[in-house]
Amino acid sequence: FKYYGQLSGRNIEDMMAGARVDVDDRKHNPMDFALWKSAKPGEPAWESPWGPGRPGWHIECSTMSMKYLGETFDFHGGGSDLIFPHHENEIAQSEGCTGIHPFVHYWLHNGFITVNEEKMSKSLGNFFMVIDILEHYDPETLRFFIVSTHYRSPLDFSDARLTEAQKSLARLRQAQETLGELSEMLSAGPTAESLALREKVKELREAFMEAMRDDFNTALAISHMFALAKEINIYHKAVVDAGIKPDGKLVAMFNDVFAETCSIIGVLEKIAAPAAEEAGDSKEAELVEMLIAMRQDARKNKNYALADELRNKLNEIGIVLQDTPQGVKWSKQ
């Protein structure tokens, strides 16, 4: 098979030079692999023209792929440890059977998953399932955590990293809320500053798209989302501080690009409900409001130590405060 080694970048001659001496004498070539395994005593087996046996490891995948996707298809995923020999052999047997090249147009191989910087495995006992994580973190946080790393890079699971992803997502959500406030204001025409900012928004959108076109570089794409969020927050503050009306077209561009990038990454696709509604329990909301009022009184009396302590306590239970010209706003992480 002339394409053998193309996916992994291996050279057949080099591999043969390093092959073991005790090669199975039933092979025509030392690099051959089995499509049908001869049955050993006690193993499950089926009758075949070559005697009782079972399908080889690689042939299973070709069979399933062709049944559901056809003789050639666009994307095939898998762990980076499967590139050789598994996927190399899958290509060889599939194209050898059909004569169609390529079997797959794009191969996506993800990096290894580690837990607290140690490889995840059943033998080490650090194995867990998504459903276990969702007992402590919401699905959107988990999704954001995963795509914050390029899919080919190692992904390290830890409470600290998941909490960090949760806080990062909250920053984007805050920008989304700030954008909502800008959208509710009466708009005006452009200024020299807002015209320049319109161009910057276009540049950030293109930079985001270019990152996604470059082998789904979600990590880089998300950095451009944060750059956009920063511009939204800066512009909102400038408008409020100056007491002016925002550039309506700029705000519309902010909305379109922010929504588009969020949709592609798969986060913040729903507008967050008001914090009091999220709380569900009106008593919880009343308690939060009471603690915020206590903090405000402490600040007025210049008791900043108490004000900071109240803010930290609220933060510990997942309540994030934001001091704005319109007053204190709170949201749940």
Q: What are the pLDDT digits (tens) for 110-157?
A: 998 888 888 777 777 777 788 988 998 999 999 999 999 999 999 998
124, part of any domain: no
Per-residue pLDDT reduced to its tens digit, 144-177: 999 999 999 999 988 899 999 999 999 999 999 9
Residue 229 pLDDT > 80 = yes
pLDDT band at 239 (very low <50, low <70, confident <90, very high): very high
93, part of any domain: yes
Q: Are residues 180 and 279 in the same domain?
A: no
User: ∠ at Cα 278 (272, 283), nearest 5°?
Assistant: 155
Q: Are residues 213 and 299 in the same domain?
A: no
Domain boundary (214, 231, 265) is at 265
pTM value is 0.76
Residue 5 pLDDT > 80 = yes
Give me the CATH number covering residue 34.
3.40.50.620
Whether the Cβ atoms of residue 224 and residue 258 lie closer than 8 Å to each other: no
Burial class (CB in 10 A: 0-12, 13-18, 19+), 281: exposed
- Alpha-carbon distance 196 to 233, whole Å? 16
Q: Are residues 245 and 213 in the same domain?
A: yes
Q: Are residues 229 and 300 in the same domain?
A: no
Residue 97 pLDDT > 90 = yes
134, part of any domain: no
Q: Are residues 80 and 18 in the same domain?
A: yes
* Residues whose CB falls within 8 Å of the CB of residue 17, separated by 6 or more in sequence, listed in order: none
The type of residue at 288 is: V
210, part of any domain: yes
Residue reference for tokens 């933060």 = 315
State which residues form the domain around 221. 139-265
Q: Are residues 144 and 261 in the same domain?
A: yes
152, part of any domain: yes
The conformation of residue 276, written as its DSSP 8-state character, comes to H
The type of residue at 103 is: F
Q: Are residues 244 and 297 in the same domain?
A: no
Name the residue among 112, 115, 102, 107 with its Cα closest to residue 159. 115
The type of residue at 332 is: K
7, part of any domain: no
pLDDT of 285 reads 80
Whether the Cβ atoms of residue 54 and residue 26 lie closer than 8 Å to each other: no
Q: Are residues 189 and 302 in the same domain?
A: no
Domain count, the chain: 3
Long-range contacts, stretch 126-134, CB < 8 angstroms, 24+ apart: 133/157, 133/162
